[in-house]
Amino acid sequence: MDLKEAIRQRHSVRHYESRPIEADTAARLKEIIDAVNKESGLHIQLVLNEPRAFDSFRAHYGKLTGITNYIALVGKKDSSLREKCGYYGQKIVLEAQTLGLNTCWIGIMFKKIPEAFTVNEGEKLALVIAVGYGSDQGHERKSKTPSEVSNLSDDSPEWFRNGVEAALLAPTATNQQKFVLNLVDGKVEAKALYGPFSKVDLGIVKFNFETGADKDSSIWA
């Protein structure tokens, strides 16, 4: 499975089997996270076999069960942190999908367990991603249309169409899809609209767009 296929197959999974992630799969995931940290300067950490973050009324109320592994998205506290966590977190999410794992971005329904991961001086935990073997593969959900989020038209190049379609498959907080992608003079203007976690969403959307369109970050205006 490549990352484009992973974009099509991924859905948020909220129920997990209790079995631990197999050792070689966990080692590969750790390698992916290390490479992402090297490229981004983030301090993302894999937390394994730690059920306490999701052992709460809030998590169960939010219908999250069986989560014992997660990815803590930590980085330098600055104005770019949320978008960066979205972009690089989504890279990890899609790689995890290719390894046969399921995921769910979690913004609020978890408890911070201080000894489970490290937050150095000047850093901040932005949010987490649950990871493991899902009891199901999640579900298709409603989506906005290309014309609601972009200026895609019949005359648009194929790569832009592919990018917008991949962006619409991106996870966003409460499925809000509060982003805009406009093709102007060969570059894409990407904007987050007002909404909870919409800056994280924008990073996620940009990673999906680049993957779907076969473009790199030079495509952004």
Ligand X SMILES: Cc1cc2nc3c(=O)[nH]c(=O)nc-3n(C[C@H](O)[C@H](O)[C@H](O)COP(=O)(O)O)c2cc1C
- Does 101 bind ligand X (CB under 6 A)? Our answer is no
- Residue among 218, 219, 197, 17 nearest 89 (CA): 197
Q: How many CB atoms lie within 10 A of CB 171?
A: 24
- Does 193 bind ligand X (CB under 6 A)? Our answer is no
- Does 106 bind ligand X (CB under 6 A)? Our answer is yes
Applying CB under 6 A, among 133, 160, 197, 207 the residue interacting with ligand X is: 197
- Does 72 bind ligand X (CB under 6 A)? Our answer is no
Residue nearest to ligand X (CB): 171
Of 159-178, which residues contact ligand X (CB under 6 A)? Answer: 171-175
Applying CB under 6 A, among 4, 6, 9, 12 the residue interacting with ligand X is: 12
Which residue's CB is nearer to ligand X, number 21 or number 127? Answer: 127
Q: How many CB atoms lie within 10 A of CB 47?
A: 16
- Does 37 bind ligand X (CB under 6 A)? Our answer is no
Which residue's CB is nearer to ligand X, number 151 or number 176? Answer: 176
Cβ within 8 Å of residue 205, ≥6 positions away: 86, 167, 170, 172, 179, 181, 190
The pair of structure tokens assigned to 140 is 């298709």
| Cβ–Cβ under 8 Å, residues 178 and 193 | yes
* Distance separating alpha carbons of residues 172 and 163, to the nearest angstrom: 16
- Does 195 bind ligand X (CB under 6 A)? Our answer is no
Beta-bridge partners for 220: 188
Cβ within 8 Å of residue 4, ≥6 positions away: 166, 211, 212
Applying CB under 6 A, among 200, 202, 205, 219 the residue interacting with ligand X is: 200
Please give the size of the binding site for ligand X, defined by CB under 6 A.
23
Site residues, ligand X (CB under 6 A): 11-12, 14, 62, 64, 104-109, 127, 138, 141, 171-175, 197, 200-201, 204
